[in-house]
Chains A and B, each alone.
Chain A
Amino acid sequence: MEIPYTVKPRPDTGLYNAKLGIWLFLASEVMLFGGLFSSYILLRVGADLWPHGMLNIPIGTFNTFVLIASSVTVVMSWASLKLGKLDAFKKYMALTILCALGFLSVKSFEYHAKFTHYDVWFKDAATAEKYFKAAYGEEKGVEAARKLFVERFHLHNTKATYDANQVQIGGHIEGDPLCATLKKLLAAKKETIQFTPDAPFGTHDHPKPIEVKLSDVIRLSSYVPSHSTYFAIYFTITALHGLHVLGGAIVLTYFLLTADKWWKKNPEQLANRVEVGGLFWHFVDLVWIFLFPVLYLL
Chain B
Amino acid sequence: MSLKAFHVLFITASVALSFWFGWYELDRYTSTKAAADMWLGIGSCLTGAVLIAYGIYFLKKLKNISYL
Q: Which residues of A contact B (CB under 8 A)?
A: 14-15, 19, 23, 57-58, 61, 64-65, 68, 71-72, 75, 78-79, 82, 202, 275, 278-279, 282-283, 285-286, 289, 292-293, 297
Q: Give me 10 A-to-B residue pairs in the complex whose CB atoms sit less than 8 angstroms apart, sorted by A's number.
A: A58-B36, A65-B47, A68-B14, A75-B58, A78-B3, A278-B6, A278-B7, A282-B6, A286-B9, A292-B17
Residues of A within 8 A of B53 (CB): none
Alpha-carbon distance between A279 and B68 when the two chains are bound, in angstroms: 12
**Residue on A with the closest CB to B39?**
A58
Chain B, Cβ-Cβ closest to A281: B3
**Counting CB contacts under 8 A, is B67 at the interface?**
no
Distance (Å) between the CB of B60 and the closest chain A CB?
A: 12
For the residues of B in contact with A, the DSSP-based class is helix
How close is B17's CB to chain A, nearest CB, in angstroms? 6
User: Could you say which residues of chain A place their CB within 8 Å of the CB of B2?
Assistant: 19, 275
What is the size category of the interface that chain B forms with chain A?
A: 20 to 34
Tally of contacts, chain A with chain B, CB under 8 A: 57
Q: Which residues of A contact B32 (CB under 8 A)?
A: 202
User: Given the complex of chains A and B, what is the CA–CA distance between A58 and B47 in angstroms?
Assistant: 15
Q: Are B14 and A289 in contact (CB under 8 A)?
A: yes
CA distance in complex: A289, B7 (Å):
13
Q: Which of A23, A289, A297 contacts B24 (CB 8 A)?
A: A297
B7 contact set on A, CB distance < 8 A = 71, 75, 278, 282
Interface, chain B (partner A; CB < 8 A): 1-4, 6-7, 9-11, 13-14, 17, 20-21, 24, 32, 36, 40, 44, 47, 51, 54, 58, 61-62, 65, 68
Chain B residues closer than 8 Å to A58, beta-carbon distance = 36, 40
**Distance of A281 Cα from B51 Cα, bound (Å):** 18
Instruction: State the CA gap A68–B7 with chains docked (Å).
Output: 10
- Cβ of A294 to closest chain B Cβ, rounded Å: 11
Contacts A202-B32, A282-B10 given; does A64 touch B3 at CB 8 Å: no
A289 to B13, Cβ gap below 8 A?
A: yes
A292 to B9, CA, bound (A): 17
Task: Give the interface centre of A15, A58, A72 by most chain B CB atoms within 10 Å.
Answer: A72
In the complex, chain B residues whose CB is within 8 Å of the CB of A82:
62, 65
